[in-house]
Amino acid sequence: MMHAAPGFLTLSRRDRPYRKLAAALSALTILLTSAGASFAASNRQAPPQGSIEGAPPQYTRFTAAELTRGFMALAFGSDLRIGARPRGIRRFDHPIVARVYPGGSVDRLEAMQDVVTDYARAVPALKLSLAQETEAADIEIRLIDEKHFRSAIEEAFGPKVARDFVARTDPQCMTSVKSTVDGDIVRSVSFIIVDKGDQVFFDCAYHEMLHAFGLSNHDQRNPYTTLNQGRMVGYLSVYDLTLLRMLYDSRVTPGMTPVQVRAVLPRVIKDLGLATSGR
């Protein structure tokens, strides 16, 4: 039986042209980004082949401490909470089926499906696939023009909540996530703007998918993640890929508390060979 479920809402406060809103269907969480230790990742490389023009470079080697700090900052908490406090880790605990709903004045259907396929190929533990015909979807990705974004928020959360969110954040994209009280994500819905150019579209697409999978927070002190609201990335970085591998390792389960997660992460990082021991 599914209980009234914690969910999460993340509010992005970017300067134009891109500001994002990720939202929850039930309980919503306010986040204050905590200060963190400085980072010292290495092996700086060009963005992956096929990235949009102007995409930033990425680092590909990280210490266990850098990965642990980033994971704890992004997997717990979110920007706004209304209702019961979430108990711990939130992620899917079953194979994930995603469906992209075409819409808007620019045809981005194939491009968005390619983003989903990129995640599926890079992180097999997601067990992610695109929905076939009438197959039910765990993640719905709805492509819309910017002018229809506010009405989408109103439909999802009601006019009053939508007015408050727009007044505070002037968002352009959002992801709503519903989970059980035990942290098992039941359904995610993302709204992706298609008519503000390639840079906004791809940054929004990769960013919101991370929220949909359970990395609910933002971290302005982290220079490597797409979930830093001060960056526009537009591809699946090695850093975010690594955090997803940690989140979807079988030893990290829905509902785990920060204390429980800290106890298992060293072994997860070591066994998966995710960290470098030196420079």
pLDDT at residue 79 tops 60: no
Per-residue DSSP letter, 19:
-
- Cα 11 from Cα 87, distance rounded (Å): 20
Average pLDDT for residues 30-36, to the nearest whole number?
32
Average pLDDT for residues 185-205, to the nearest whole number?
95
Q: Which domains does the chain have, with CATH numbers?
A: 7-271 (3.40.390.10)
Average pLDDT for residues 65-89, to the nearest whole number?
80
Average pLDDT for residues 107-127, to the nearest whole number?
98
Among 26-30, 234-238, 254-258, the least confident range: 26-30
- Cα 20 from Cα 39, distance rounded (Å): 25
**What torsion, rounded to 10 degrees, do the Cα atoms 243, 249, 254, 255 define?**
-80
One-letter amino acid of 108? R
pLDDT at residue 258 tops 70: yes
Average pLDDT for residues 205-212, to the nearest whole number?
97
- Cα 211 from Cα 222, distance rounded (Å): 16
For helices 238-247 and 64-75, give the axis angle rounded to 10 degrees.
70
CA atoms in the 13 A half-sphere facing the CB of 170? 7
Q: Which range is most confident: 57-61, 83-87, 95-99?
A: 95-99
Contact of 261 with 75, CB cutoff 8 Å: yes
- Encoded tokens for 118: 């990129």
Contact of 204 with 192, CB cutoff 8 Å: yes
E strands, the chain, are 7-8, 10-11, 21-24, 29-30, 42-45, 58-61, 80-81, 96-101, 128-130, 139-144, 174-179, 185-193
Tell me what percent of the residues of the chain surpass a pLDDT of 70.
78
Residue 215: pLDDT band by 50, 70, 90 thresholds?
Answer: very high
pLDDT at residue 80 tops 80: no
**Using one digit for the tens of pLDDT, what is the confidence trace for 155-186?**
877 888 777 767 666 677 888 888 998 999 99
Question: How many separate helices (H) and strands (E) can be counted in the chain?
Answer: 7, 12
Average pLDDT for residues 116-133, to the nearest whole number?
97
Q: Which range is most confident: 52-61, 160-169, 254-263?
A: 254-263
pLDDT at residue 101 tops 90: yes
Higher per-residue pLDDT: 256 or 9:
256
Residue 169's pLDDT is what? Answer: 63
pLDDT at residue 60 tops 90: yes
DSSP readout, 105-127? SS--HHHHHHHHHHHHHH-GGG-
